[in-house]
């Protein structure tokens, strides 16, 4: 196992390139199951989750070839093939559930194990199932596996309402959309997620011949087509990686530009940083942040579906808030249990108090390096950020979580002047 040694770093400065988006990439690769011909994806991030999805597609009979260095991945799907997603792969990554819709649409049958719990609370798939049932599929749960079968003649277009108690579902919307593009007739998905990852999926499906409209809004309209033909696809930039890098810059009072980023997808974060006195320059090819004269002032941050403040930046914001003047409330109604990073930040000296679905941060705290344990992907990033401003060295263990979703974060931060070293963890169990 590996760990990070994070040393206190001065203000970050310089420019780095945004990676391709993990959360756009996973459903897009799964959509490779839907198309004839070879789907060629570029700007594919080098991440463990991508390797896991490639493995899953291979198990489903796809020919997958990857040049990870060049960020290219190609998927060719035979018309007929396996319909069982192996539990051994699915249990490693929730996004595996994304093959449910494509398998049902293309092969009429899907057996997908429930991906199971998650370290930051329950993450059900009832809305995915509701969507498939609305399209005429029969779905039952047996021995931990969802067995889904399309009706004779295939899925049928329908009106689907995906609004859940905690707002729209991102992967659920993607899943139902992928099922609907090959269904007979018209589908209307209400309560659809508006996230940029859903927009990217809808656009690529359209490039492949699907008839979809409304992406970016909360109603998607789909006219089913008989078949789709692979079109090239470049992954959009990873807005959460960009946000994390900008927060590292803000925390260290630095000056950083992320090239190839999409600032219009980060409106809520950038507005907050500007309110704290950071200067933000958005342009067509990226975003720059100058925090040299910033004065972080606390306040309240509440996560919300896009275009609100992303839950995937909540932990990193909490790290940032430890250095703000006064009190900050960070609330996450999307995942009220996603606060594992709090106890570890306290080890570094942060003044935090947990409340249901929220954490209160009092700052500015003097942080001092300590050994900490990463509990999940974004929590890991928060600990690295805090380590950049903690005196001495912070040892972040279990960084395999981080590697699921950030492409060599230590190198990117290193290019900006941060001192983050990846080493073998000689104390790992
Ligand atoms: N929900 C249900 N029923 C469902 C599905 C979701 O009640 O059938 C609830 C969830 O429990 C949650 C809310 O709806 O409270 C939103 O969850 P959503 O379904 O949107 O999450 P997801 O699609 O499974 C994606 C990202 C997550 C990100 C969330 C929210 C991917 C691969 N994952 O998950 O990313 O936090 O959307 O924006 O796209 C991450 O990258 O670190 C990460 C966890």
Same fold, 2-18+237-424 and 22-234: yes
Structure tokens at 77: 């799907």
Query: In this structure, are residues 412 and 245 in contact, taking their beta carbons and an 8 Å threshold?
Result: yes
Confidence of residue 368 (pLDDT cuts 50, 70, 90): very high
- CB of 132 within 8 A of CB of 104? yes
Question: Rounded mean pLDDT of the chain?
Answer: 96
Contact 104, 182 (CB under 8 A): no
Q: Mean per-residue pLDDT for 394-407?
A: 95
Residues 6+ apart with CB under 8 A from 325: 295, 296, 297, 298, 363, 364
Residue 118 has pLDDT above 70, yes or no: no
Give residue 152 CA to ligand 1 midpoint distance, Å. 31
Q: How many CB atoms are closer than 10 A to CB 116?
A: 11
Q: Is residue 419 predicted with pLDDT exceeding 80? A: yes
- Output the pLDDT for position 167: 87
Q: Whose Cα sits closest to atom 15 in ligand 1?
A: 334
How big is the CA angle at 132 (ends 173 and 20), to the nearest 5 degrees? 30
Q: State the pLDDT confidence band at 428, using cuts at 50, 70 and 90.
A: low
pLDDT given at position 219: 98
pLDDT at 116 over 70: no
pLDDT at position 117 is 59
Candidates 117, 171, 189: which one to mutate for ligand 1, based on the most atoms within 8 Å of Cβ? 171
Fold of 2-18+237-424: UDP-n-acetylglucosamine1-carboxyvinyl-transferase; Chain (3.65.10)
Residue 425's pLDDT is 85
Q: Which two tokens stand for residue 46?
A: 């080098």
CATH classification code of 22-234: 3.65.10.10
Output the pLDDT for position 212: 98
User: Active site includes 118?
Assistant: yes
352 in Cβ contact with 344 (< 8 Å) = no
Q: From ligand 1's centre to the CA of 160, what distance in Å?
A: 18
Average pLDDT over residues 159-176: 94
Please give the average per-residue pLDDT across 122-134, as a whole number: 92
For the cut 80, the answer to whether the pLDDT of residue 7 exceeds it is yes
Structural domain spans, the chain? 2-18+237-424, 22-234
How far apart are the C-alpha atoms of 396 and 381, rounded to whole Å? 10
0.85 exceeded by pTM: yes
Please state the rounded mean pLDDT for residues 293-297: 94
CA of 130, closest atom in ligand 1: 8
Please report which confidence band the pLDDT of residue 416 belongs to, taking 50, 70 and 90 as the band edges.
Answer: very high
Per the rule left: phi > 0, alpha: psi between -120 and 50, beta: everything else, 337 is alpha
Predicted confidence band at 363 (pLDDT cuts at 50, 70, 90)? very high
Instruction: Say yes or no: CB of residue 175 within 6 Å of ligand 1.
Output: no
pLDDT, tens digit, 9 for 90 and up, residues 318-358: 999 999 999 999 999 999 999 999 999 999 999 999 999 99
Please list, in sequence order, all residues whose beta carbon lies within 8 angstroms of the beta carbon of residue 316, skipping any fewer than 6 positions away. 243, 244, 247, 378, 381, 382, 385
pLDDT of residue 143: 94
| pLDDT for 375 beyond 70 | yes
pLDDT at 397 exceeding the cut of 70: yes
Check residue 337 and give its pLDDT: 94
Q: What percent of the chain has pLDDT over 90?
A: 95
Residue 361 forms beta bridges with which residues?
328, 352
Split at pLDDT 50, 70, 90, the class of 426 is confident
Ligand 1 atom showing the smallest separation from residue 171 Cα: 23
């Amino acid at each position: 196992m590996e760990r990070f040694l994070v040393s206190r770093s001065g203000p970050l400065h310089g420019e780095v390139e945004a990676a391709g988006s993990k959360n756009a990439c996973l459903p897009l690769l799964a959509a490779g199951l839907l198309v004839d011909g070879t789907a060629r994806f570029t700007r594919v991030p080098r991440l463990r989750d991508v390797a896991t999805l490639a493995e899953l597609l291979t198990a489903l009979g796809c020919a997958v070839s990857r040049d990870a260095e060049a960020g290219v991945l190609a998927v060719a799907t035979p018309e007929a093939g396996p319909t069982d997603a192996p539990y051994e792969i699915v249990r490693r990554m929730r996004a595996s559930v994304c093959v449910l819709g494509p398998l049902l649409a293309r092969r009429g049958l899907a057996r997908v194990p429930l991906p199971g719990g998650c370290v930051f609370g329950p993450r059900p798939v009832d809305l995915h199932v509701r969507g498939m049932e609305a399209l005429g599929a029969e779905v039952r749960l047996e021995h931990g596996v969802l067995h889904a079968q399309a009706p004779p003649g295939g899925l049928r277009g329908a009106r689907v309402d995906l609004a859940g108690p905690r707002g729209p579902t991102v992967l659920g919307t993607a899943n139902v959309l992928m099922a609907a593009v090959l269904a007979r007739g018209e589908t209307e998905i209400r309560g659809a997620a508006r996230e940029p990852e859903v927009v990217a999926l809808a656009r690529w499906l359209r490039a492949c011949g699907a008839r979809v409209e409304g992406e970016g809004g909360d109603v998607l309209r789909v006219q089913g087509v008989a078949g789709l033909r692979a079109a090239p696809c470049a992954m959009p930039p990873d807005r959460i990686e960009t946000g994390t890098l900008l927060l590292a810059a803000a925390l260290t009072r630095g000056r950083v530009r992320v090239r190839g980023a999409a600032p219009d997808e980060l409106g809520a974060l950038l507005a907050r940083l500007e309110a704290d006195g950071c200067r933000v320059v958005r342009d067509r090819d990226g975003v720059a942040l100058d925090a040299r004269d910033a004065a972080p002032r606390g306040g309240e941050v509440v996560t919300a579906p896009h275009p609100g403040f992303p839950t995937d930046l909540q932990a990193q914001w909490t790290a940032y808030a430890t250095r703000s003047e006064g009190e900050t409330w960070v609330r996450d109604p999307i995942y009220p249990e996603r606060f594992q990073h709090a106890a570890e930040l306290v080890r570094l000296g942060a003044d935090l108090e947990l409340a249901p679905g929220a954490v209160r941060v009092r700052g500015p705290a003097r942080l001092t390096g300590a050994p900490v344990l990463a509990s999940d992907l974004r929590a890991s990033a928060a600990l690295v950020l805090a380590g950049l401003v903690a005196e001495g060295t912070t040892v972040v263990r279990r960084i395999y979580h981080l590697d699921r979703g950030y492409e060599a974060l230590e190198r990117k931060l290193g290019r900006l002047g941060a001192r983050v070293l990846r080493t073998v963890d000689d104390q790992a169990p």
